[in-house]
Amino acid sequence: MQATLGVRWGASRAPIRVLFPQRLLARAEPLPTPAGAKTRWLHGGGGRGSSEGDEAAAYSDVPRPGRKWMRKPYVTPMKVLIRRAKEERQARRENPCRVLEHPPDNGLLVPHLVEVARSVHAARERLLDGLTRLMEGGDAIQVKRCRFCLEVHVGRVGHEIRTCEGRNSGARNSLHVWRTGTVRDVVGFPYCYHLFDRVVEPRVVHKEKYTVPRLPAILELCIQAGVDMERYPTKRRTRPVYSIEGRIVDFELDEAGTLPELPARTPLLPPVAPIAVSSASADTTNEQEEEITVPDLASRTLQSWLDMRSGAARLMKKYSVHTCGYCPEVQVGPKGHKVRMCKATKHQQRDGQHAWQEATMDDLVPPNYVWHVADPSDELPMANELKRYYGKAPAVVELCVQAGAPVPEAYWSMMRLDVVAPARDEYDLVA
């Protein structure tokens, strides 16, 4: 006997739990997941059944690069920037002559960020030293770079994924031509102009293009936040500056009355104590050298990378960093420079000047995403037909993971650790 099911309009609709066929197969034969990984289910409706642990493990993927002729997205919405400009203009009209109270706009340092700047500078030194030692020696991690483009690959054999956009790439079917890479290919810091006085003289004009020294932008950020270096002197104030009708005026004079001359060129980083990298079964080395295994060195290097980025993010909340909206040029300071050196889209309309806007962490420290190699001991190159099954990660993270460091939780989904790529003769059989 068949029964009839009646549905009334206006009845309450409860959230429906949706299970796809792939989910049913996964329940029957669960796939191996990485240690500590969390499983998330899809819920329909309002999603009230999700737990706090699922929200913490948010999905993150490699950001898609924008079009070359399009401007980078603004970090702060344009309406907010316009409102801030109106408020500053109104405050300037009400009080034309005033003392700037909040650092670092008044020329003083932010006290609680001085130690953060020193830790970021020390983390950068440890990062460069660790990468150098991981890429040297008999058991070094090999890095490849394309001869015609900026593509980087971490592994013994370069991949065969057709993503080359360099010279004569059409004749090579967009295949890369690999050569041995260096530390600069793994992590590259964009350069900017050094500011001796970031408040009174915040801009570098075009005539000072070759007279003002350039240095890594993250190093300039640390110097402006409180790190003192003999090679790059900067002015430290004890009194705040004045703002008279929008112009910064400093009534604190130097003892000599003139600006100090730039010293002669000296090494940027002090010598680092040598570290002997050895395997777990190696003999003891000299007592003066610190012995450390390769996995421990990789973990320490990866932690230095994470500490440097987290500390730089804290500094960028107080100290302004600007980037060009069309090219990778970066300038640390209240304003961008006026050097006419932009060659990106619409540079003719701007007379070669940059279109400055607020920078992000990826502009200050580019992650340089590379393809993740699931099995570094495999001699077969990564196939172009299987690229949708491969994950990506920053070059520093990929190099340290191949050296034995644990994978950070933030890069689990990006590296696609729970995806098993089919064989080359099976990719056309997978839906």
- pLDDT, averaged per 10 consecutive residues of the chain (431 residues), comes to 43 40 41 42 36 50 82 94 93 87 90 96 96 87 94 94 92 94 94 93 93 96 94 91 84 55 40 44 44 91 96 96 95 95 91 95 94 90 92 95 93 90 83 60
Residues 239 and 157 in one domain: no
What integer pLDDT is reported at residue 254 of this predicted model? 58
277 and 377 inside one domain: no
Nearest to 220 by CA among 207, 234, 209, 203: 234
Q: Please say whether the dihedral angle defined by the alpha carbons of residues 371, 375, 381 and 383, taken in this order, is positive or negative.
A: negative
Instruction: Give CA angle at 114 (99, 330), nearest 5°.
Output: 80
pLDDT at 6: 42
* Residue 209 counted as domain residue: yes
Q: 371 and 360: one domain?
A: no
Task: Please indicate, yes or no, whether residues 278 and 378 belong to a single structural domain of this protein.
Answer: no
Regarding whether 405 and 296 lie in a shared domain, the answer is no
For Cα atoms 88, 94, 97, give the angle at the middle one, nearest 5 degrees.
Answer: 85
Is the CB of residue 389 less than 8 Å from the CB of residue 337?
A: no
- By residue range, what is the domain housing residue 392? 136-181+367-413
The 3-state DSSP class for residue 99 equals strand
Q: Do residues 210 and 344 both lie within one domain? A: yes
Q: What pLDDT does 312 receive? A: 96
Q: Please indicate, yes or no, if residue 359 is contained in any of the structural domains.
A: yes
With respect to residue 215, please indicate whether it lies within any of the assigned structural domains. yes
- 327 shares its domain with 339: yes
Q: Both 214 and 201 in a single domain? A: yes
Classify residue 303: in a domain, yes or no. yes
CA dist 249 and 241 (Å) reads 6
Residue at token pair 């987290």: 310
Are residues 192 and 176 part of one domain? no
Are 176 and 303 in a shared domain? no
- Pick from 302, 336, 364: which residue ends a domain? 364
Q: Say what the pLDDT of residue 424 is.
A: 84
Pairing of strands 321-324, 247-249: unpaired
User: For position 47, what pLDDT does the model report?
Assistant: 39
Q: Are residues 154 and 301 in the same domain?
A: no
| Domains in the chain, number | 2
Q: Count CA atoms closer than 13 A to 355's CA, side-chain side.
A: 16
Strands 247-249 and 369-371, bridge-based pairing: unpaired
328, 363 contact by CB (below 8 A): yes
1 lies in a domain?
Answer: no
* Residue 386: per-residue pLDDT: 92
Question: Is residue 325 domain-shared with residue 401, that is, in the same domain?
Answer: no
